[in-house]
A and B are shown apart, each in its own frame.
Chain A
Amino acid sequence: MDHLIGLVGDGYALVAADRKVAHSIIAVKHDEDKILKLDGSKLLGCVGELGDTKNFSEFIQKNMALYALQNGTELSTHAAAHFIRGEISYALRRSPKLCNMVLVGYDKDVGPSLYHTDYLGGMHKMNFGGHGYGSFFAVSLLDRLWKPNMSLDEGIALMKQVFVEINTRFLVGGSTFTLKVVDKDGVRTIDLGDDEMKA
């Protein structure tokens, strides 16, 4: 089961996803990137049904690029989140997309924001959230340890605590994670030392 977690801090938002791809009992891949860069200021972590995740997140990415070309301006995070929710809820009673997502973005006027969406189209703006079994552990920790306006270093440290917890307590161990951040300078991947995430 895929782990997807995100949190919001002081002028930035973090999103992390594990890197395993599994078919039944076999781990097919250990270095999959489940977080897609939608545009210069948004990241979409998307987990769930394998084909749906890739297809849907790329569909969103390309439509947002088209909007930018046609209208000469990028979508805000709020607009992107509602666009995504609209597409999911439209497809729900036709050809459902089994995608659970965490969208994080940074806007100049609003700052960082996180939108948590499930595959049924239930969406909510939150300070932190996640999907999958890993989110059970993550959200418990974040309920206790998250506070508003944490610095980037504090946020990364908190995420590392979450990774350690998942690797210690989740039944299927040895998960490695991709951690990406979005802030006023755009989107980038944070390099985590290999040894930091294993139990």
Chain B
Amino acid sequence: TIVQQSTVVKFAPHSIFYSSTMSILQYNGGAVIAMAGDNCVGICSDLRLGVQAQTVAMDFEKVFPVTEKLYIGLTGLASDVLSVNQLLNFKTKLYKLRENREIKPEAFSAMLSSLLYEKRFGPWFTEPVVAGLGEDGKPFLSGLDLI
């Protein structure tokens, strides 16, 4: 008699959601998409929060406002989505206090890139998308990987 030992195979026979060989970026699941148009940008995310194959919540938003004209979408590990968003809020507020103006999308994206690379050898498990409007209403989009 053969008894199955691996719980991953037992509970998720197709193992398409997560396995020990799959990335931690897929642990909670999620997707973000952004698009530019005529003097406008749109950004959206799914609302699922999962733990591997189990769905825990269906109201977990992954898009956050930075300024009135700048939004960030964060995919990947939920804990790091929350942590990176808190960090970005902190840095953006400090920026505003020092520079006495709102941060521009290009500068924000560069700041985010720097934040992520700072953790090059122990990264934040999140792959962000930035969407915003520049000074003259010009659309700005950028996508980053986890480093």
Contact = CB atoms under 8 A, between A and B. Distances in A.
Q: Which secondary structure dominates chain B's binding surface? A: mixed
Interface residues of B, number: 16
Q: Chain A, interface size: which category? A: 10 to 19
Interface in A114-158: 116, 118, 120-124, 126, 129, 136, 139
B52 to A, nearest CB: 11
Nearest to A119: B79
A88 B60 CA distance: 19
Interface of B: 27-28, 49, 51, 54, 56-57, 59-60, 77-79, 81-83, 122
Given A93-B122, A118-B51, A124 B79 contact: no
Contact of A124 (B27, B54, B56, B77): B56
Given A89-B82, A89-B83, A124 B122 contact: no
8 contacts: A93-B122, A120-B77, A120-B78, A122-B49, A124-B59, A126-B56, A129-B57, A136-B54
Q: Which 6 A-B pairs have the closest CB atoms?
A: A122-B78, A121-B79, A120-B79, A122-B79, A124-B57, A89-B83
A100 to B, nearest CB: 9
Interface of A: 85, 88-89, 92-93, 116, 118, 120-124, 126, 129, 136, 139
B122 A123 contact: no
B104 to A, nearest CB: 29
A126 B77 CA distance: 19
B82 A121 contact: yes
Tell me which of B27, B54, B79, B83 has the highest count of chain A C-beta atoms within 10 A of its own C-beta.
Answer: B79
